[in-house]
Each structure stands twice: as structure tokens, then as C-alpha cells.
Amino acid sequence: MEKKQFVTESKKLLDMMINSIYTHKEIFLRELISNASDAIDKLYYRSLTDESVKMNRGDYLIRLTTDKDASTLTVSDNGIGMTSEQLETNLGTIAKSGSYDFKNENDKKEDIDIIGQFGVGFYSAFMVADKITVRSRAFGSDEAWQWESEGADGYTLTKCDKDTAGTDVILHLRADTEDEKYSEYLDAWKIKNLVKKYSDYIRYPIKMESESQELKEGKKYGDEDAFETVTKDETLNSMVPLWKKKASEITDEQYAAFYREKFYDFEAPVKTIHFHSEGLSEFDAMLFVPKKAPFDYYTKDYEKGLQLYSSGVMIMEKCADLLPDYFSFVRGIVDSADLSLNISREMLQHDRQLKAIAKAVEKKIKTELAKLMESDRVAYEEFWKAFGMQIKFGVYSDYGMHKDVLQDLILFTSSAEKKLVSLKEYTARCKEEQKKIYYAAAETVDKAAMLPQTEAVTAKGFEVLYLTDDIDEFALRSLKEYDGKEFVNVCAENLDIATEEEKEAIKKENEDSGDLLTAMKEALGDAVASVRFTNTLKQHPVCLSSEGALSTEMEKVLNKMPGAQDENVKAQIVLEINAEHPIAAKLKALYETDKDKVANYAKILYAQARLIGGLTIENPAELSSLVCDLMI
């Protein structure tokens, strides 16, 4: 019979599985059992609303069968089953979660990453089997189909006989080699151990018939013919979901293993939050904060949500309503007996119980993250690196409505040692007379630190927060203040770091040079709102500050957003000249002796100020010729 081909990406993955050096080949069993359990979940869920499902809760089971002569291990379930189309799409393709990058397929480490990341479930069986036969009958269908494959060169699909709905996955185990004993997967003891290790919490019984030698009735040890071979049908798993157990009974390893398996991560979570809540509605929750952002996290493909169970039965794979967007990185499970099982998903959204659970979950995540910041700073900073952006978006979105939840989770690099600091830490250590929280926005920490105004503020002994993500300044603007201290951009013209005397002195200076400054402003036209002297700058000759709500950094961010080209926003810019810098004296002298040159000086200084501030120059050619004129 002609073989059908796998889609290309599946083929590569299969090759990888077949040649895998993956050290935990045994996980294949867990994967197949999970698939079986999911298939039963689907049928059970259907039974709640569909009377044609004649099964009782107690009828569902997963069965493991070994055949030593044929060297096969079979995983059977009486779940929802698959139609021939489903066999083809589910097992002939894996390109379901976007595009994969298999460039490093020969790299050993990469094997593990891919196995972990994409939960390639079914395919992992090729690590131990050289042929797989799947016989399945979909619930409600009167025909059954057999899918069979020996690996990368394709698969066949034929009709077969099967009396009841469900699926048998038959693994034809590979021949033993020197390094690998595949035959151990025929061993009852080995299988029992694997089920205990990986699948103990599966909610349906995992049964296996096994033979053991038992003492015959009336016989004693040592008697002749004392033993007989007894076949027993055993349930191998305890069926208590992990989240129903007490936290004290679960080891970190168990949590991590559960998380990895359930949520396809290859790393342990940075934080596990397991709790039982008995407030407005009673529920168990087991939540995980991943260590790294999934590859699609900051794209629109990423779907947030927690798995929702009702009394141990999964009713929704990703219940988005349980998580606010700013905690969308959290994975996990919520199990509540209070949810009515047969309400539709649309109704569920409006369910009061669900809302109460979501609120409690949000609160818990917040407190636990805040605790983590205190108790394990290294872990928290790792978390921050992965998901800080999302939290900052949360602060900014909905007009800053969530600031109470989020403001104490934020970190920024600060001028003090260039380390990450929380707002609480910043205000706790700032001087009493400091009434504001200063920040500098630029593309990088180094650039923010090099801004002339940053230097001016730190020289006064104030700490400056360095904002480097596009969202940062918008987030702080949404917060407005923290602990009664207003946030101000060091480039804002109302910075107010000078003493009264200094203010008086510069005011006089500006008044005295009114004509010069007006001439400079005129030369620059609409580019600036005004030109003035300042006495806060240290070494730099000039800088730009902004008047009003929009900073130059915000201008930059807004104008690079899609669609911004048609309607550019503009910050109100002030060109500030260091009154103590020799250039100030030079300008004053020029204004007396050679007024015409002042305009050119103004243009050059303005261009310099833009460069220092990390902005682009509108007319580089003009600048170049102006500078050359000065040089020759």
C-alpha cells in the first residue's frame, strides 16, 4: 500500500526522535498516558451534556498491556477516539503551534529543548519503538481506523475492527542494544515505577494485568509446588491530583516535574504557588511562574489562561478569564467544586464564582511575587527579566487602574550602583528633602547615565532611575507618584533641583541676555519652544529639556509606532545652554560683535544637544556645512 508522507516539519521531528540521545526516553509512557487521559476527559465532558454517551464515571480507564513474545507495549483508553481525518491531522502533522526551528537538530542539547518546549507527546514514542500502530474509533462513529508508521518515511491509514470507542496505541519496541534495554518496557515492575513516577495523579485508573508467584492455599514456604502463577488486575496510580494533595506532602521535584510535563517547559518554574481558598468560593489552585518567557510570549499568538477543573475533571484548557493580562505569564490549574459543570463557556465568563476565583488568584499572585522579591532577589530579577515588560504594560494599560496591584513589583536600574531597585527601596533610601523621584529615559542604561541632566541630578546627590524600555516612561506617567513623590524626567524643565539662590542667579542671567536668547530662538524656528541659560549642567555645553506632558523620549516612542507617520507628535523642546561653559561667554560676545553668526551657532548647538540626547538630526547636511564654515 502506498505510504502517506508526513508534513516536512513532522518528518524532521520524527528523525530527531528516532535518533534521539534524549536521556529520559522513558517519558514516552507519560506522554501516551496523558493523551489517553485527555481523550477520556473529552468524552466525560461530553457525557455531561450528551445523553448518547452511555458511560459512567467509573467505567473510564487506561489499560497497559505487554506482550513479551511480540515485544509490544500497548496503551489503551476508552476515551473520545479519533476519526480517520483526526488520525491524519493529529498524528501526521505537528505544525500546530506555529513554526519550528530545527536548525540545530544535530545539537544534543537542542533535542531536550524541543522535546520539552513543544510537548511533542505522541512522537516521543518513536524513541523506544520502531513501529507504532494506532487503532482508534471515534465516539459516535461506526468505523474504526488504523494508523501505522515506522518513522520518517510515512504512515498508512486503513480501516480496521474495533468494537468500542477509544484508542489503542501499540508500540513495537526496538531491539535491545548495548546501551539501551528497550525490553525493560515489557517488565511489569518497570512500568509500575514509571506510572508512579510520572502519572500517579492521572484521574482515571491506569490498569495493568500482571502475573506474580503466590503461595497456594494450604501450602507453606519450602513445600513442593507451593507457588502458583496468579494474574492480577492492578490499578497502578493513586488518582489523587497533585493539586489536591497538601503542599507539605509534595516535594519541589514533584512540583517541577508536574509543571514541566503539564506545561511543556524544560525548566523548573521560578515560583510555585499552591493554595486552597475557602473565601467566597472554594477552590484549589496550583500556579507556576515560568523561568523564561515562551518563544511566542510577546506575540499575539500567545494565549493566556489557566486550566480549569471542576472536581478533578478538566472543563477548560485555557480559561483566560482567570488571569489578568499583566499576569498572563502564569501557568497553572484551578479546581473548584463550586462551578456548575454543564454551563456553556460563554456563560462561564459571566459566572460569579469564576470572577471571585479570578480575584483571589490575582491577589495571591501579587503577594507571592512581592514575597519572592524580598526572599530571593536573584530569582525575582530573573523573573523580572522575563516578564517585567508585561508588568509595566499592566501599569500603563487601563489608565493606570492596576497601579495598586503592580507598583510594588516594578524594578528599574538606578544610578546607585546601576543595580535594579524597587520603588519602595528607592523612596526608603532617598533623602528627606527629596520630594520627587527622578528618572532618565534613553535606549540603554549607559546612554541614560550619560545624559547631561542625569549628571546634574546625581551631582546633587539624588538617585536617578534609568528607563530603557519604550513602555517605561508611559508606565511611570500612569503611576504619577509613589509614596507621595511625583515622578519627573530629569529632562523636564520644571526639574527644580537648584537652590533658591541658584534660581535667582539664573533668572537674572536669562533676563540680561533676553535679546541674545530671542535671536537664537528665532534662528531655530519651530524646532524649539525657547532657548535659555541653565546653571545645573556640569561639563556639557548644552542639553534639551521638555516643557509640558511629552518628553523627547516619549516623542520618539510614539512616532515610531505603526501609523504614526501621518500624524507626528512633537515634544515642546527647550534648548538649555550651560551658563558656566565658555560657549556662553562666546555667544554673548558674538552677539555684540558679529550678530549674524549667532544664528549659525544656535543651529550647531541645537544639533549637538539633539545628539547628546540620543535624538536624530533633522538636517545633517546643513550641520556639516555649518561646522566646516567654522573650521576653515
Interaction site with ligand ADP (CB under 6 A):
31, 35-36, 39, 77, 79-82, 90, 119, 121-123, 167
Cβ proximity to ligand ADP, 261 vs 376, nearer residue: 261
Question: Rg (Cα) of the chain, in Å, rounded?
Answer: 34
Half-sphere exposure of 455 (CA within 13 A, CB side): 17
Place of cell 475492527: 161
Cβ proximity to ligand ADP, 93 vs 624, nearer residue: 93
Cβ proximity to ligand ADP, 117 vs 156, nearer residue: 117
Q: Which amino acid is at 430?
A: C
Cβ proximity to ligand ADP, 35 vs 336, nearer residue: 35
Place of cell 542671567: 509
* Element at 407 (helix H, strand E): none
Nearest distance from C-beta of residue 87 to ligand ADP, angstroms: 8
Cβ proximity to ligand ADP, 262 vs 581, nearer residue: 262
Q: What's the CA gap between 522 and 534, in Å, rounded?
A: 19
Nearest distance from C-beta of residue 284 to ligand ADP, angstroms: 24
Q: What is the DSSP letter of 153?
A: T
Nearest distance from C-beta of residue 86 to ligand ADP, angstroms: 7
Cβ proximity to ligand ADP, 121 vs 332, nearer residue: 121
Nearest distance from C-beta of residue 202 to ligand ADP, angstroms: 13
Cβ proximity to ligand ADP, 167 vs 277, nearer residue: 167
Cβ proximity to ligand ADP, 79 vs 294, nearer residue: 79
From first CA to last CA, the distance across the chain in angstroms is 86
Closest CA to 265 of 94, 105, 118, 101: 118
How far CA 122 is from CA of 125, 135, 239, 370, in Å, comes to: 6, 14, 22, 39
Q: What's the CA gap between 494 and 536, in Å, rounded?
A: 12
Cβ proximity to ligand ADP, 30 vs 402, nearer residue: 30
Nearest distance from C-beta of residue 82 to ligand ADP, angstroms: 5
Report CA 308 to chain centroid distance, whole Å. 19
Cβ proximity to ligand ADP, 76 vs 534, nearer residue: 76
Q: Give phi and psi for 104, each to the nearest 5.
A: -95, 40
Nearest distance from C-beta of residue 76 to ligand ADP, angstroms: 8
Q: What's the CA gap between 177 and 182, in Å, rounded?
A: 8
Residue 571 in contact with residue 554, Cβ under 8 Å? Answer: yes
Chain position whose Cβ is nearest to ligand ADP: 121
Q: Which amino acid is at 259?
A: Y
Q: What's the CA gap between 310 and 20, in Å, rounded?
A: 38
Cβ proximity to ligand ADP, 62 vs 319, nearer residue: 62
Question: Cell digits for 453?
Answer: 541632566
DSSP per position, 329-340:
T-EEEEE-TTS-
Nearest distance from C-beta of residue 481 to ligand ADP, angstroms: 47
Cβ proximity to ligand ADP, 42 vs 244, nearer residue: 42
Nearest distance from C-beta of residue 29 to ligand ADP, angstroms: 12
Residues 6+ apart with CB under 8 A from 197: none
Cβ proximity to ligand ADP, 31 vs 555, nearer residue: 31
Residues 6+ apart with CB under 8 A from 352: none
528, with CB counted inside 10 A (0-12, 13-18, 19+), is buried
Strand order of the β-sheet with 72-77 is 155-160, 144-149, 129-137, 166-173, 72-77, 62-67, 206-215, 227-235
Nearest distance from C-beta of residue 167 to ligand ADP, angstroms: 4
Nearest distance from C-beta of residue 113 to ligand ADP, angstroms: 16
Residue 394 in contact with residue 325, Cβ under 8 Å? Answer: yes
Residues 6+ apart with CB under 8 A from 253: none
Place of cell 484521574: 203
Nearest distance from C-beta of residue 391 to ligand ADP, angstroms: 29
Q: What's the CA gap between 133 and 141, in Å, rounded?
A: 20
Nearest distance from C-beta of residue 119 to ligand ADP, angstroms: 4
Nearest distance from C-beta of residue 214 to ligand ADP, angstroms: 33
Closest CA to 17 of 132, 184, 136, 185: 132
